[in-house]
Structure 1
Amino acid sequence: MDRKQEQDKGNSNMSGIDVALISPKVPKAVSPVSSAAAEGDTLRRPRGRPAGSKNKPKPPIIVTRDSANALKAHAMEVSSGCDVNESLLNFARRKQRGLYILNGTGCVTNVTLRQPGSAGAIVTLHGRFEILSLLGSILPPPAPPGITGLTIYLAGAQGQVVGGAVVGALIASGPLVIMAASFMHATFDRLPLEDDELAAAMQNQHYQNGRTHHLDILTCMQSHRTCS
């Protein structure tokens, strides 16, 4: 009787315990992708540019400042009674720019010229003359002698034409307009060039042109000797 009561008591104790069964998680099987399917996706991928696409426009190149070596056009008006030659020299000195005189329109008085046809004779013309042509170059100091100068051709009241290099004052008679181009960094060279100078000049020209082919400098030097 006591043994049966103990068994019933044990069974009653076991009935009060919750038993939880925990089963291990099994990972889901991943189906492998066949190589044939991967190759099919690669082959189906479109190549090249999509239909309807265009090149994007490139932004414009904006130059914010002028190059120092760029030519500048000038229309210069010289007041009546002023010396044309002296006015151009002052402009070149203050601006530190060289001037290439293209032409001039107007009248001048009391012109002093050196005429090449008269063995370099100096001629002074009195009166009023109209400018037919005015050419020359004006460089700021320090400039080698003989670089700066003006050459002028004039028409007189009777239709006579006279010209030569201006060696004195050139006084404007009334408003006078001069067309000119200004520049900077003029390079002075003494000709003919020596062999070393010629080679350096040719090499410099090669790099400036941006070319990659070989320059036969010896051939250029030999041709230079033949010409000289």
Structure 2
Amino acid sequence: MRISLLGLLAGTAALAVAASTAQAADLPSRRSPAPIYNAMPAFTWTGFYVGANAGYGWSTGTSRYYDPAFGYVGSNSNGGFVGGGQIGYNYQLGMFVIGAETDIQYAAVGNKGASYGTTYYRGNSDGYYGTIRARLGVAFDRALVFGTGGYAYGDVGGNNAYDTVLGYHRGNNTNGGWTLGGGVEYAVTDNITAKVEGSYVNLDTRSNYVIDTSRVTRRDSEFGVVRAGVNYKFN
């Protein structure tokens, strides 16, 4: 009888545990739901942009006076403020970024001129230039290292010749040429980028004033530029 009683108690306990477990399974869970993570979108350089820049330019060309007895004589280069605006488009393919950019700049880099006896040659230092360039770069997330090159045009001054008797001859005009450069750009936010770049611009060489059959001036419209800029990138 004792054994039967123990068996009955054990069976009753087992049924109670099973019922309790089944009832607990029907109750809502008290555990918090698993958190949902939204992955941040990767930054891309693709898109149109517009911006402004400012920096310093210096003439690497010459204003020289030619005499057959002495050759080219005299040289005086100039440097000054450069600033303007740019607009362009980038397209990113993996780590590589290709694009195109055009800009227009004020440039105080004209040659001041050269003197020879009572005759001297000078031009104002104020001028402008613009470029239409391709860009190719490598992106490291928000940092972009790029090279650039293409067509350049402009009038940077230093192309007037002056004779004390005849006055100014052959005024400034626009020339075409080429440019090469490179730089680094960084995306401060998804829409704002900042850059530093350097470039070399060559607007061709020309002889522009003959006093007589023995003398002529020569101007080299070549200059270097270092500038910083900021762009607004449209998504």
| TM-score normalised by L of structure 2 | 0.28
| TM-score normalised by L of structure 1 | 0.28
Structure (1/2) with the larger helix percentage: 1
Tell me: higher relative CO, structure 1 or 2? Use CA pairs within 8 A at least 6 residues apart.
Answer: 1
Q: Which protein is bigger by CA-based radius of gyration? A: 1
